[in-house]
Amino acid sequence: MKLMHFIGGATFAATMALGGLAPLAAKDGGTLVMLVQPEPPSLASYLSTSGPIGLVAPKIYEGLLDYDNDLQAIPSLAESWDVSEDGKTVTFNLQKGVKWHDGEDFTSEDVQFTVMELLSKIHPRGPNSFREVESIDTPDDHTAVFNLKNPAPYMMRALSGYESPMVPKHLLEGKDYRSADLVNNPVGTGPFTFVEWKKGQYIRLDKNENYWQEGLPKLDRIVGRFIPDASTRTAAMENGEVHYGAYGAIPNIDVVRLREMDSIGVTTDGYAMINPVSLIEFNTTKPPFDNPKVRQAISMVLDRQFLIDNIWFGYGNPATSALSSSFAATGLYAEGLPNYPGKPNLDAAKKLLDEAGLKADGDGERASITLDLIPYGEDWRRAGEYMKQALGDVGIDIELRYEDVPTWLKRIYADYDFSMNVNYFYQLPDPVLGVHRHYGTDQIRQGTHFVNSSRYSNEDLDALLAKGAQEPDAKKRSEYYAEIQNILANDLPVANLFEMKFLTVFNSKLKDHDTSGLGAYGSFNKAYFEE
């Protein structure tokens, strides 16, 4: 395998297959080949949340915490932590004997530097996650004390190696963070060390022999391969050339076929931290959607299960609230809300439209509306075509509009020149991180993507959102969120469609790749091959 540096594409694939197969008999060792799609722009997960970076970087960088499949925090670089009574002081006791891949010691100085200088300043979501952090004290090398302005329980869900990677202060301090050598040559504390990146082909990570967790990692090597063509990816998975593909690397239509094979496993686990939900954004400032009854009527007409079954091949759950049902694990999800029918209710919808003054004319037509669609592929077009039919049944004539990504983003988030827009959002592991941005008055940020484009503004709701964000008591917090969801189900500035399920396809010899709630964005430190 030392020849690796000198050989190119085809030979590489063959060697990979051998390297992958030979050690299969052993429980430890082996090379995992995973699909990374598309090729990442860099490996600086402290600068960008781009998807492919998330597949590679968390194997190299670790966070203070990790999360299990129930989204409960488990120790990572912090061996224990303590939140003070008033929620304003969070103390992390760090693991001892952790070293960076270059041999330097990992200390609380690194934590302070990473959070204060990088994450809360230049990370895309960090400024929100760490917005209450005033300062971080470092009484000794193994203790980091976060001083908060207000309680921030959601922050405790944003400390994974994917969301908030700890990076080495000694390699970044005094340098330009965006162009430092570390951007493409990551040095972390994680189970795998970065070895090489052959542009257009693969990224290679080798086992960290000095990893602080005894006996881990089990794999010898992880190779992330870039294969731009979807059917080639499917074929590579089918013949065992690659072992792992997540985030739609293998299209659903092919998964339906592959899942029948014994050598291939399929799971929807590992996306709970991402929590994607598809939805319709209504322009609440313009008729007819300035009237909540019209928004309710739309929600009553749509057969969410039909979309899931016929377009997404059964992978998804109908939405029943502004929050995804995965928040049930943290007690924030509310059930039995109005305007999210299990089956479409056309009579109720027609009645609502009548009440809103949208009466049917001679041809049975009530209104003519343009529906914008997220330009992320064929599935969304099919969804639009279905909605056009379904809404036509209650007299709403729909014209579909499908544009290129920049034009669409500008139309929805800068010009607000739309009536209703089909989209999907990551709700992330806490509503503060992923859900508040739809609804808060402070989230009407013209020009910023994926925020409150409905321009919905409700003082009562704003107050509840603020309370929900700061409430440390779980029971009180869930009461706030129950009320929030009730308001949103009635006002419906955004009608959620369904909770999306991304698919991870893997070789069934690969085990324990799914021990983290982060799934493909996890560290893979326990993954191994079985004979």
Partner 1 sequence: MVQFWRLFRRNRSAVLGLVILGLVILMAATAHLIFPDDPFRLAGRSMSPPGENGFLLGSDSLGRDVAAGIAHGAKTSLLIGLMATLVAVGLGTLMGGLAGYYGGLIDDILMRVTEMFQTIPSFVFAILLVAIMKPSIESIVIAIAVVSWPAVARLVRGEFLSLRGREFVQACHTLGMSDARIILREILPNCLSPIIVIGSLMVATAILIESGLAFLGLGDPNIMSWGFQIGAGRTLLRSAWWVCTFPGIAILITVLAINLVGEGLNDALNPRLRERT
How far is Cα 299 from Cα 391, in angstroms, rounded to an integer? 10
- In this structure, how many other beta carbons lie within 10 angstroms of the beta carbon of residue 363? 8
Dist CA 263 CA 93 (whole Å): 43
The distance of closest approach from Cβ of residue 441 to partner 1 in the complex, given in angstroms and rounded to an integer, is 32
CB closer to partner 1 out of 278 and 324: 278
CB 428 within 8 A of CB 275: yes
Nearest approach, Cβ of 262 to partner 1 (angstroms)?
Answer: 20
CB of 416 to partner 1, least distance (A): 18
Q: Which is nearer to partner 1, 310 or 508 (CB)?
A: 310
Instruction: Sheet containing 420-426: give its strands across.
Output: 316-318, 494-500, 276-282, 420-426, 367-373, 396-401
Residue with tokens 């399920």: 501
Residue 12 or 380: which CB sits closer to partner 1? 380
Sign, CA torsion 374/376/380/384:
positive
CB of 403 to partner 1, least distance (A): 6
Q: How open is the CA angle 269-13-236, to the nearest 5 degrees?
A: 40
Min separation Cβ 322 and partner 1, Å: 28
CB of 364 to partner 1, least distance (A): 13
User: What is the smallest separation between the CB atom of 373 and partner 1, expressed in angstroms?
Assistant: 8
**Min separation Cβ 379 and partner 1, Å:** 9
- Structure tokens given for 22: 């030979």
Q: How far apart are CA 432 and CA 451, in angstroms?
A: 12
Residue 78, exposed/middle/buried by CB under 10 A (0-12, 13-18, 19+)? buried
Cβ proximity to partner 1: between 345 and 486 the closer is 345
Q: Which residues bind partner 1 (CB under 8 A)?
A: 251, 253, 256-257, 310-311, 378, 381-382, 384-386, 388-389, 392, 399-404, 407
Taking the complex as a whole, the smallest distance from the CB of residue 255 to partner 1 amounts, in Å, to 12
Nearer Cβ to partner 1 (293/388): 388
135 vs 389 by CB, closer to partner 1:
389
Check if the beta carbon of residue 183 is closer than 8 Å to that of residue 47: yes
Q: Tokens for 199, please give them.
A: 């542009």
H runs (alpha helix) in 173-286 = 230-238, 252-258
Integer Cα distance of 518 and 342 in angstroms:
30
E strands, 36-190, in order: 65-67, 73-75, 78-83, 89-94, 133-140, 143-148
Nearer to partner 1, 137 or 309 (CB): 309
CB of 252 to partner 1, least distance (A): 9
Q: Which is nearer to partner 1, 99 or 388 (CB)?
A: 388
Nearer to partner 1, 196 or 378 (CB): 378
Q: Are strands 264-267 and 504-507 parallel, antiparallel or unpaired?
A: antiparallel
Query: Which residue's CB is nearer to partner 1, number 285 or number 310?
Result: 310
Kind of pairing between the strands at 133-140 and 276-282: unpaired
Q: How far apart are CA 449 and CA 374, in angstroms?
A: 13
Q: Would you state the structure tokens that stand for residue 329, as one six-digit string?
A: 């694990």
